[in-house]
Amino acid sequence: MTTGVRRRMGVEERRQQLIDVALRLFSDRPPEDVSIDDIATAAGISRPLVYHYFPGKYSLYEAAVRRAADELSARFHVPHEGPFSLRLLLVMGRYFDFAEEHAPGFSALLRGGSVRSEAVVEEVRQAAYEQLLAHLELTDPGPRMSLVIRTWVGVAETTALSWLADRSIPRRELERQLVHDLLALAAVTAAFDEETAGVLRRVVEQEPADGPFAELVARLLALVPGRADGG
């Protein structure tokens, strides 16, 4: 007769297990509603052992948020090759991959819960902002161009969270819609800001005839009376 023996985890492996557990629990409930006992039970270990690896619940929460933030920030790094809209579509695919594959981490990250975790969320937003600037070949954008990008980052964040809660719209449609959203925001601002207009002209010059930008223009023109039939 044999008996099962539980394998003893190494220090780093146990830390990562606790972070995994924390991501799941904190994505369903705010930090104040999750106890150390909850974490210990979910991890299958004792309460004192949790404290052996983390000094408190919020230090574990912040470690979980930090890992989710690092992984999400990396999703904005794609090769600076090809038309901007196609690069952005690739970024959106990677962004939604993360949201879908790591839904607990994504939700826990964006939910916030402490001053330090909110700071981590802002780091992710800043990383996204800086990557978009790099793809647009901008180093010091004016206030209107900057606002376009920061507004869009918020739209992408809210859209992904809403999609996780209610997947009634196909994911690929939302990814393409977010590309259209950025182009639309830039186009509206370009009508009143020469810097944004210059950036948009440069982007349009590189766009393929069957790309997301051309699709958006065609759909918008179809809404204008007398234009759907070429009038």
pLDDT in tens, 104-160: 778 777 776 666 678 888 888 999 999 999 999 999 999 999 999 999 999 999 999
- Tell me the pLDDT band of 24, cut-offs 50, 70 and 90: confident
Question: Which tokens is 229 given?
Answer: 């039939």
Instruction: Tell if the pTM clears 0.85, that is, is over it.
Output: no
pLDDT tens per residue, range 180-197: 999 999 999 999 999 999
Measured CA to CA, the distance from residue 151 to residue 144 in angstroms comes to: 10
Closest CA to 188 of 224, 220, 157: 220
Cα within 13 Å of Cα(117), Cβ side: 25
